[in-house]
């Protein structure tokens, strides 16, 4: 099973691309658990909610992996949780850091901030997009994991993502 994580700042088309790739390959994708969790929360999130979200995201991954698909697309991953936590609270729960170190993703698609910002009640930082993009790239480099930067229009992103997935599949 090859796991491809779509990562990057808010409003960069992660969910859209994950769904497109899943449809193209006839493969499952795991939606971002935080959207569901925060949508039902009924109060502002707090630091401890981020660990709960991480646990929910991992449980969703486990469920999808039990079906043993050849490809699995992950709409967001634990690097997002780390960046979110450190930015919002200055620290990250040890659980999230431990699970991030064990994440075992075959390829990360880092989405650039060159799409227009789409307002959403769960999005918080339209003015920090470049900052976060550079932070994600730095983190991925430090993690020494394979990643491809994806930019351009939605169609260009989709085509570039397919190219990256195909290169991975040919290894």
Q: Is residue 150 predicted with pLDDT exceeding 90? A: yes
High-pLDDT (> 90) share of the chain, %: 80
What does the mean pLDDT of the chain come to? Answer: 92
Q: What values do phi and psi take at 46, rounded to 5?
A: -130, 170
150: left (phi over 0), alpha (psi -120 to 50) or beta: beta
On whether the CB atoms of residues 13 and 157 are closer than 8 A, the answer is: yes
pLDDT digits (tens, 9 = 90+) for 29-43: 999 998 889 889 989
High-pLDDT (> 70) share of the chain, %: 96
Q: What is the DSSP letter of 37?
A: H
Q: Which residues pair with 73 in a beta bridge?
A: 4, 29
On whether the CB atoms of residues 24 and 169 are closer than 8 A, the answer is: no
Region 94-109: mean pLDDT is: 96
pLDDT, residue 51, reads: 95
Domains of the chain: total: 1
Here the CATH number for the domain that contains residue 84 is 3.40.50.300
Which range of residues forms the domain containing residue 138? 2-170
Q: Is residue 9 predicted with pLDDT exceeding 70? A: yes
């Amino acid at each position: 099973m090859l796991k491809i994580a779509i990562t990057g700042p808010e409003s960069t088309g992660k969910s859209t691309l994950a769904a497109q790739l899943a449809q193209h390959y006839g493969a499952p994708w795991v939606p971002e658990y935080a959207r569901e969790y925060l949508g039902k929360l009924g109060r502002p999130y707090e630091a401890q909610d981020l660990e709960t979200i991480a646990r929910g995201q991992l449980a969703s991954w486990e469920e999808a992996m039990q079906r043993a698909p050849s490809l699995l697309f992950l709409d967001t991953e634990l690097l997002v949780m780390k960046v979110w936590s450190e930015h919002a609270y200055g620290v990250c729960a040890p659980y999230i850091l431990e699970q991030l170190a064990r994440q075992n993703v075959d390829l990360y698609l880092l989405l650039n901030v060159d799409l227009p910002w789409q307002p959403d009640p769960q999005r918080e930082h339209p003015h920090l997009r470049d900052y976060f993009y550079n932070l994600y790239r730095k983190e991925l480099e430090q993690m020494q994991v394979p990643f491809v930067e994806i930019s351009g229009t939605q169609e260009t992103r989709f085509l570039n993502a397919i190219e990256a997935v195909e290169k991975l599949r040919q290894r």
